[in-house]
Amino acid sequence: MIPRRPLLLISVVVLTLHALVLGGAMSHGASPSADTPLAFATRTIAAPPPPPAPRKAEADQPPAAQPVPRKKPRPKPATPTAITGEPVADSPQAPASAQEAAPSTQPAPPPDDSPAPEEHPPAPEAPAEPPPDMPIVQGSAIAITPPGMAEDVGSTQAPAVRIPAPVRLGFDVSGQSKGFQYSARAELLWQHDGQQYQARQEISVLFLGSRAQTSVGEITPLGLQPLRFGDRSRSEQAAHFDFAQGRVSFSANTPAAAIAPGAQDRLSVFLQLSALLSAAPQRFAVGTRIGIPTVSARAADTWTFTVEAEETLELPIGTLRAVPLQRLPRRDYDQKAQVWLAPEFSYLPVRIRITQANGDFAELSLRSRAEP
């Protein structure tokens, strides 16, 4: 063990020597050589130490994206349209960085909840077409041809009509069926409320049974517009009118036929003639032809009536003036129809005669007139 006194002496000597060395260097003003590296200078300009490693919770999070200035969007037109006139669908917005870095040259698809623009506007739905063998009839179905004209001219505007008041007409019937002469009674019941109508004509013949025709429909500016026509003897056959589709179909499974406004059935046609002559009798001079498409329970045809000179009839109800109209057959199997319209009774039929191709006929002569 070194004694404390010598140890203290050695420490004083060492401190004294250090003081002399440092004091001598400072007194001579010596500066370090240029070749001598300065440790303090290197430590002064050294880069700051790297930040401490982030904790595990912070290291899992992605670094925050630096905001990139966005370009000012162009003003959007008020009603953008394509060449076809269809509105252009808005494209979905891409992220700002993707838009500015590489703008797409392809149009963006429309959103899923909006329909894609079409190249052409959708075409309107075509109406239901009639069968190929059924020609489409254009315009009015009623053709009124003044005397002296060679061809029928279809009316370009609705003819005037005056619907007869409801009435019940009773007729005496004489006729021939399969060579058998008969007499019978018939009744024509005509009813309407100004909007809907119904007509029924029935002939009852002893030993031969009865035959009834019915017509129901609407009253329009053109006059009567049938909806259903029925013809019953042993069984009933019917025609169903569909003016919206321009066709009439038959329960007898015969081909459908085309119709146009003004078409009638074989019962309503006589009441339609009454409405035409009652509204404008001066228009129907002798020789005028009236063409009306007329539908039976199995087919459709055009009945053309020719106005003849007025006659005086002796009927069971009395003596009446009447205007006869005659429909002559155009084909071998056509029936001939004649009707006499009385101005005194609002041009209602007071005599009707139907003649078949085989010679059978039925003639109805007015016997009574009463309220329905």
State mean pLDDT over 299-310: 95
Q: Please indicate, yes or no, if residue 266 is contained in any of the structural domains.
A: yes
DSSP H/E element including 39? helix 39-45
Q: DSSP of 172-183, one letter per residue?
A: EEEEEETTEEEE
- Domain of residue 197 covers 143-370
Two tokens, residue 58:
């912070």
If one counts the domains in the chain, the total is 1
Angle at 279 between CA 273 and CA 280, to 5 degrees: 95
pTM confidence score: 0.62
Q: Please indicate, yes or no, if residue 290 is contained in any of the structural domains.
A: yes
Q: Please indicate, yes or no, if residue 97 is contained in any of the structural domains.
A: no
Q: Please indicate, yes or no, if residue 363 is contained in any of the structural domains.
A: yes
User: Which pLDDT score is estimated for 292?
Assistant: 94
Q: Please indicate, yes or no, if residue 353 is contained in any of the structural domains.
A: yes
How far is Cα 6 from Cα 328, in angstroms, rounded to an integer?
A: 168
Q: Please indicate, yes or no, if residue 46 is contained in any of the structural domains.
A: no
Among the ranges given (64-68, 88-92, 269-273, 367-371), the one the predictor scored with the smallest mean pLDDT: 88-92
Q: Please indicate, yes or no, if residue 73 is contained in any of the structural domains.
A: no
Give residue for tokens 């019941």. 189
Say if residues 235 and 211 touch (Cβ distance below 8 Å): no
Report whether pLDDT(147) > 80. yes
Q: Please indicate, yes or no, if residue 352 is contained in any of the structural domains.
A: yes
Report whether pLDDT(237) > 60. yes
Q: How many CB atoms lie within 10 A of CB 293?
A: 22
Assign residue 249 the CATH number of its domain. 2.50.20
Residue whose C-alpha is closest to residue 359's, from 315, 326, 329, 319:
329
User: Which pLDDT score is estimated for 102?
Assistant: 41
How far is Cα 354 from Cα 203, in angstroms, rounded to an integer?
A: 13
